[in-house]
């Protein structure tokens, strides 16, 4: 009996000792996945409950579409592309850009919740939880992506009022394109918000970056026959590669030829980029920005 006791202890010890770290690692991963879901669900719930925010975020795109579009339509109505026989009206050209505008603004300002949570202490409670800090960046990016995608797709109901025809296949094609653009811009916003400490500072930086990104994206004018310096800026603007495929898909069912639609398309060295390639560029940009956001959260005290 006395000799059997040490053998039993040795037999049990190797089994119990390594099992604890393994269980902890599994629990940490599961907790991180659950944290991503909870952070995503919290942002979506706050977005859904704030109906005034939903209405207000639609006001600016509608203002651009109705006032800005109608005003320039009269000036561009006799142009080679706008208003001519077989061409598009300026409002039809501008309509996909307004969808991109709604996605851009919602995605960037959706990341503002990170700074807001930091100021009110919620972010500190999340960061001390037994989860990987990357869960915070991923959850926030996915939450902002979902909000921006919904916000942009809501504007599809305006298509009949601006003379744009949409069918079910077109809408199905638009959903992943809107999701990719929303993800790229949301990850960009999360990466910037992760280094900001005040809400005022974030708003200043975002306004400084958002408006150039929007105006250089081709939402309001074709990205052809531009000055050299502006052409360079439009090609390094990630929003350009997200709004251009939206426009090409939306206008493809308008009854015009594909050659006319491609006259608005984004080109590099005279070559029209394929829609999957443009989506891949935006997706890669979003992945890089999300990686930067993850590193910022890992280094934060």
Q: What is the pLDDT along the chain (301 residues), one digit of tens a residue?
A: 444 444 444 443 444 445 444 444 445 778 778 888 988 998 888 888 877 777 777 777 888 787 777 776 666 554 445 554 456 778 888 889 999 989 988 888 877 778 777 777 677 777 766 777 788 889 999 999 999 999 899 888 888 888 888 888 888 989 999 999 999 999 998 988 887 777 777 778 777 888 889 889 888 888 888 888 888 998 999 999 999 999 888 887 665 556 667 777 788 887 888 889 999 999 999 999 999 988 887 776 5
Contact 105, 59 (CB under 8 A): no
In a domain, 81, yes or no: yes
In a domain, 82, yes or no: yes
Which residues, in sequence order, are bridge partners of residue 271? 268
Contact 100, 242 (CB under 8 A): yes
In a domain, 272, yes or no: yes
d(CA 240, CA 219): 8
In a domain, 1, yes or no: no
Q: Within a 10 A sphere around the Cβ of 122, how many other Cβ atoms?
A: 14
d(CA 158, CA 120): 38
d(CA 251, CA 239): 18
Contact 140, 43 (CB under 8 A): yes
In a domain, 11, yes or no: no
d(CA 59, CA 253): 27
Contact 282, 177 (CB under 8 A): no
In a domain, 17, yes or no: no
d(CA 168, CA 294): 37
In a domain, 284, yes or no: yes
- The conformation of residue 273, written as its DSSP 8-state character, comes to P
Q: Which two tokens stand for residue 23?
A: 């269980």
Contact 217, 239 (CB under 8 A): yes
pTM over 0.85: no
Number of domains within the chain: 1
Question: Any idea which residue has 């939450």 for tokens?
Answer: 143
d(CA 100, CA 61): 9
In a domain, 5, yes or no: no
Question: What is the domain extent for residue 35?
Answer: 26-299
Nearest to 40 by CA among 174, 181, 128, 135: 135
């Amino acid at each position: 009996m006395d000799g059997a006791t040490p053998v039993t202890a040795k037999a049990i010890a190797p089994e119990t000792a390594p099992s604890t770290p393994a269980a902890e690692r599994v629990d940490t991963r599961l907790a991180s996945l659950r944290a991503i879901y909870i952070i995503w669900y919290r942002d979506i719930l706050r977005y859904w409950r704030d109906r005034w925010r939903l209405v207000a975020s639609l006001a600016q795109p509608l203002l651009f579409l109705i006032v800005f579009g109608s005003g320039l339509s009269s000036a561009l109505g006799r142009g080679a592309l706008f208003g001519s026989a077989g061409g598009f009206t300026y409002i039809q050209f501008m309509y996909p850009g307004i969808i991109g505008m709604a996605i851009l603004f919602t995605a960037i300002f959706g990341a503002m919740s990170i700074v807001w949570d930091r100021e009110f202490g919620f972010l500190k409670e999340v960061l001390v939880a037994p989860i990987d800090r990357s869960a915070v960046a991923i959850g926030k990016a996915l939450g902002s992506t979902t909000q921006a995608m919904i916000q942009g797709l809501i504007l599809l109901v305006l298509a009949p009022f601006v003379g744009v025809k949409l069918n079910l296949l077109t809408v199905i094609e638009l959903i992943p394109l809107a999701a990719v653009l929303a993800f790229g811009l949301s990850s960009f916003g999360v990466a910037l918000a992760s280094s900001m400490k005040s809400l005022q500072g974030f708003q200043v930086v975002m306004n400084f970056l958002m408006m150039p990104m929007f105006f250089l994206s081709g939402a309001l004018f074709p990205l052809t026959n531009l000055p050299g310096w502006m052409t360079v800026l439009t090609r390094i603007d990630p929003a350009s590669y997200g709004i251009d495929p939206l426009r090409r898909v939306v206008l493809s069912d308008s009854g015009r030829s594909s050659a006319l639609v491609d006259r608005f398309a984004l080109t590099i060295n005279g070559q029209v980029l394929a829609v999957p390639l443009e989506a891949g560029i935006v997706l890669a940009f979003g992945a890089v920005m999300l990686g930067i956001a993850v590193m910022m959260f890992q280094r934060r005290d």
